Amino acid sequence: MNSQTVPIVQRDGLNWTSIIVFSLFHAGAVAALFFFSWGAFLTAAGLYWVSLSLGIGMGYHRLLTHRSYRVPKPIEYFLAVCGTLALEGGPIPWVATHRIHHQFSDKEGDPHSPRDGKWWSHLIWMLVGDASNANLEDCGRYAPDLMKDPFHRALSKYHWLPLAVISLLLLVAGGVPYLLWGLFVRVTLGYHATWMVNSLTHFWGSRRFATRDDSRNNTWVALVTFGEGWHNNHHAHPTSARHGLAWYELDVTWLTISVLRRLGIAKSVQEASL
């Protein structure tokens, strides 16, 4: 991408859509504490892995954003649908925002750098302007590969639909406890886990590589994001499907990709090493 390209994210005015959605989900997560059941808890845990590891880490991030491996289109589409379950937007805006982050990382134009404030990078950047609902055509400048795909365009437009279906199934199968835990608790925890990659891993942790940004490896963030917290490794080797490079750096998402590679499903897998 041209380094002079104007970022798509605007920073003016309150984003009431994000404010209302985030407030409702946090309130629902608190309400879930009064409707606990082990079945609801385990269901939420399973969906947490599906949405964050298969969806965000394996699908939106390592496959669609960085093309660090290839899988057949039906599996790519499945992983993208899993990504929508995290309620972080459709694949095209997500990919575009993350590619902008790498292009301008911790410099002017980065949508969520802690240099603009720790809380800005964690949350506030989505509460102003159009960060969470930027125009699809504008996003397409940073994700032209996805814009050519009718499935990804449709999924980006109706990204809320898979989650709505899952929510209805949760309510029918387990009632209010399953809905509160499988939707509100799970999505809220997933939000903060992903947001910590934007915030904490750019000011707290260790630096193995002397990158041109502030990226750091953070064990705790890696644990709750299935490997995304090895962020300094990732910024040093952005096209690597493997983020945890040392034997002690647990990267669950990479282990899943490795299994698919052994099965002959994942191909052209790029793997950095120490």
Long-range contacts formed by 30-37: CB under 8 A, 24+ apart: 31/180, 31/184, 32/177, 32/180, 32/181, 32/184, 32/185, 35/176, 35/177, 35/180, 35/181, 36/177, 36/181, 37/174, 37/177, 37/178, 37/181
Instruction: Locate 241 and state its tokens.
Output: 């499907």
Q: Is the model's pLDDT at 257 over the cut of 90? A: yes
DSSP 8-state class, residue 243: -
Provide the b/e sequence for 225-250 (b: ≥16 CB within 10 Å). bbbbbbbbbbbbbbebbbbbbeeebb
d(CA 99, CA 90): 14
* Helix or strand (DSSP H, E) at 160: helix 160-179
d(CA 253, CA 11): 33
Query: Which amino acid is it at 63?
Result: L
- In tens, the pLDDT along 94-127 reads 999 999 999 999 999 999 999 999 999 999 999 9
- Domain boundaries along the sequence of the chain: 16-262
For the chain, the average pLDDT equals 94
Instruction: Locate 269 and state its tokens.
Output: 């897998």
CA distances from 153 to 150, 159, 233 (A): 5, 10, 31
Whole-number pLDDT of residue 7 = 52
Q: Is the model's pLDDT at 10 over the cut of 90? A: no
Residues 6+ apart with CB under 8 A from 155: 77, 80, 81, 84, 90, 91
- In tens, the pLDDT along 130-154 reads 665 567 888 888 999 999 999 999 9
pTM of the model: 0.94
